[in-house]
Structure 1
Amino acid sequence: MTAHVDVLDLVAQLRDAEKPFVLATVVRTLSVTAAKAGAKAIISPDGRIEAGWIGGGCARGAALKAAREALVDGRSRLISIQPHELLAEQGLRPGDDREGVRFAKNMCPSKGTMDIFIEPVLPRPSLVIFGSSPVALALIEQARLLGYHITLAAPASEIPEMPYVDKFNDGFSVSDDVQRRFIVISTQGRGDEAAVKAALAVQAEYRGFVGSGRKMASLRQDLAEAGYEDVLLDTLKAPAGLDLGAITPEEIAMSILAEITQLRRVGQRHAAQS
């Protein structure tokens, strides 16, 4: 089995396991370089090359730096590693960006040029939905089209027909093993407090409560009396969703996903504008 096949096998395994990584591919070389066009490597979030090869130290530093940046903002990039003399002829310095290409200096005696495409492969964002209300079911339908990994957490006895989800938890519980998680509590009076407590017990970038501000205020008071700190309770957004004037379950679900999308993309928008 060749190294190239090993890389592709590992890509499939990491995708299935919902693990983040970068696929680095040499797309062009000029003059003498250790790796040739088509060479690939998988770079892990901690900066290790897990499989494959894209050259030695001449390319490794620039590729690893670009990989770390790509895993943060989710954007692919092309880096061109060139000898200092060639960069100077073009009026470029290491670190410059021109027409979508990031330039780096090749300090190896070979003086070759290597262009490497850096492609981040990120896990699907995790959406955890507490409850089986009409809004919860509408969220499942719409979120599936947007590529979310969906976990439904609700008593099985309250679900007449199980919707298509990636994971189902019987009751209001969820494991704390996901880095980027968005939680929506749509219990509508059937286990509100238990669901909110479960949502507060795990790490999440977003916790939205489907219900009125009055209901949330009452729940917040009960939770505060139970010992929950204000800094944690402040992470609950109620009512969940952007203020679009939504009325139907489908419209409310859309407003919630719009709010989550706005939060998800803020870092990528800032990176694109910089």
Structure 2
Amino acid sequence: MLDIAEELDRWARQGREFAVATVVATNGSSPRQPGAALAVDSAGTAVGSVSGGCVEGAVYDLCRQALADGESTLESFGYSDEDAFAVGLTCGGVIDILVTPVLADSPARAVFTAACAAASRRSAAALVRVAEGPSALLGRALLVHPDGRYEGGLGGDLGLDRAAAEAAHAMLDAGQTGGVAIGEDGSRCGQPLTLLVESSVPAPRMIVFGAIDFASALVRVGKLLGHHVTVCDARPVFATRERFPEADEVVVDWPHRYLAATRLDSRAVLCVLTHDAKFDVPLLELALRLPVAYIGAMGSRRTHQERNERLREAGVTELELARLRSPIGLDLGARTPEETALSIAAEIVAVRRGGSGAALRGAQTPIHHDGARGPARRIGEVA
């Protein structure tokens, strides 16, 4: 649901009633992951998507029904090959969808409103809902903050709320969205409930080192992918806001000094375009020892070999060197800054999602990868 938080935040501030259909679990090939949502307001306006088109019409009708009767429901959509006119996923997967009405007198409305407001501000918070369990609890919600505080409730007792908040807090720390099983009494052995935890976290960082023409194109692509983008260069004549108007930050500093002082998490992406040993070596010596998601460096194969030798001389180990993506990007035959930025972005996505970077045509590998989540699970399945 938080993927459409900005629109829902606007609806909530306008006092609109709406229903939200959220993917809570998947099995096999599916176009959207848990947390993807479609919402419909009382006037019939729709926003978002749960399937890329396969079952949108049926889900729209479920939302309209939820607005009419005020009841939350859990529906499953599977493969529709046996009947060409049946509602289902043509990709062969299965998705479970939770439909929740957010009415003016809904007990969970305040929680939904707070969650959408936090997500639209890119503030950290986790929205927790009962996705499977007793009908009286279905769709109930609480909002968990980074300091462990929570608001709202799941309609059970305080033990359930505390246990749900604890589980959600751990997922929020990891920036994860997905299902978690818990007992109705808050234990792991009571009547099982399945909770959907949706984490809203600040945008992942992309730091582009080197204020060159290729960097300008990479900034634009990085923003398209949802990153908070910083450009850093030691040369004030090149690192200017005029040259990089779309960057969130433009920093004039030695790259390694800025990297040592800035805050990063495990989702951070570092793109080294400086192409100069006096910048590259001290920067990569530090970067390759940080627990970040991606480190790439621009340069020819000859530059790559020479740079690696300098890094070895500086004490960088072979294991650390193996983390370096250099020459940076996938082989697309790129020549222009825009094409090069696309090849870098493609490699970043492949690393994040576990893709091979190979053409899909003729391949037998899955189309949808998500290495961070592990195997897809249906409602009720526990890791």
Structure-1-length-normalised TM-score? 0.69
Q: Which residue of 2 aligns with 1:186?
A: 273
Q: Which residue of 1 aligns with 2:223?
A: 144
In structure 1, stretches of 5+ residues that fail to align are 84-93, 96-103, 108-113
RMSD: 4.0
The 5-angstrom pairing of residues 1-274 of structure 1 reads 5=110, 8-9=113-114, 12=117, 16=121, 18-19=123-124, 21-26=125-130, 39-43=140-144, 48-54=148-154, 55=156, 56-58=158-160, 60-61=162-163, 64-65=166-167, 68=170, 74-77=176-179, 105-106=190-191, 116-154=195-233, 155-159=235-239, 161-163=242-244, 164-171=246-253, 172=255, 173-174=258-259, 175-179=261-265, 180-189=267-276, 191-197=279-285, 199-200=287-288, 202-266=290-354, 267-268=371-372, 270-272=374-376
Query: Matched residues in 1 for 2:252 and 2:168: separation?
Result: 42
> Closer, same or farther in 2 for the Cα pair 1:262/1:272, shift >3 Å?
farther
Structure-2-length-normalised TM-score? 0.52
Count of residues paired in the alignment = 244
Moved more, 50-59 or 134-143: 50-59
Query: Matched residues in 1 for 2:377 and 2:342: separation?
Result: 26
Query: Matched residues in 2 for 1:198 and 1:168: separation?
Result: 21
Q: Is the 8 A contact 1:24 1:119 kept in 2?
A: yes
The structural deviation recorded for 1:135 is 1.7
Deviations along 1:37-92, whole A, 9 cap, x unmatched?
Answer: 7653223578x443333242246546754774687584444879779xxxxxxxxx
After superposing on structure 2, the runs of 4+ consecutive aligned residues of structure 1 that deviate more than 6 Å are 78-83
> Closer, same or farther in 2 for the Cα pair 1:181/1:189, shift >3 Å?
same
Q: Is the 8 A contact 2:128 2:168 kept in 1?
A: no
Q: Is the 8 A contact 2:229 2:249 kept in 1?
A: yes
In structure 2, stretches of 5+ residues that fail to align are 1-106, 355-370, 379-383
The structural deviation recorded for 1:209 is 0.5
Query: Matched residues in 2 for 1:224 and 1:78: separation?
Result: 44
Query: Matched residues in 2 for 1:50 and 1:177: separation?
Result: 26
Give the % identical residues: 28
Q: Which residue of 1 aligns with 2:91?
A: none
Q: Which residue of 2 aligns with 1:99?
A: none
Relative CO higher for 1 or 2, CA cutoff 8 Å, sep ≥ 6? 1
**Structure in which a larger fraction of residues adopt helix:** 1
Deviations along 1:204-259, whole A, 9 cap, x unmatched?
Answer: 22110111121121122122223333332332211011122222221111111111
Q: Is the 8 A contact 2:177 2:199 kept in 1?
A: yes
Q: Is the 8 A contact 1:26 1:37 kept in 2?
A: yes
> Closer, same or farther in 2 for the Cα pair 1:159/1:60, shift >3 Å?
closer
**Secondary structure of the corresponding residue to residue 376 of structure 2:** helix
The structural deviation recorded for 1:132 is 1.3
